Structure 1
């Protein structure tokens, strides 16, 4: 039972990467079906949670929507493998989980402005030197992702500490 609980806890980053890929795929969906209420609902539900990390990823030269979606899907699949075999991939799991923690933590403080475009105004203000703290917004999905990724990081730390003690 304990192993199953820890495996579920280690799946948090994969869930975060999967939701990020869904957000990236919602952009072309909105482009092809701009009057669809369900497409807008999907996009606007995930927007406060994944806006900042995805727009930072899309700001990297050479990274487009489709390459970002593939990259995030591969990260999610890799996270599933890491969660199922934590003894083999403890360092990779540590890095994988902490990148997801940084990305979800970034949105916790920067999700106060909701913009739905890829224009220059929609790019993160972080790149332009705006380091002001925006008030935290409450998003149930964002809180769930942050807590699940935080628990995965905690599992990674416990695994590394156990290995260091036993060595």
Structure 2
């Protein structure tokens, strides 16, 4: 497998009207909390507008490149251009609802609007795709909630251990 990829989904960032702070923050957290998973500088990056077909195309390309984990940042809210969950569902074979539920439950005590997130998570073959919020703080907090679960999830998705060791 090719490692990890982080995709920022934002009309403003993709048009060059705003600097993407969220994608780099997610990459930093992955690098700090999971240093052995990817050699430094090898986490793939992507940036697309809030366009369902563009998101589907990029996610499909990354799955074809056999990334084991793809994290998206943005497009999970209630706005009319927030289409990341719909695009993700078009790509995945099976949902992993517990990850999205854990993110909402874990971030809601400090941010009541977390319950409005429409983020999804799922598998396309052996690739796990997880939607994170578009804000830097929200993305980092949500990823922090599920980060302890991801090594086991990726191991099982790749055909490894079927039961936790603890």
Q: TM-score normalized by structure 2?
A: 0.26
Q: Please identify which structure carries the higher strand content.
A: 2
Max Rg structure:
1
Q: Which has the higher helix share?
A: 1
The TM-score, its normalising length taken from structure 1, stands at 0.26
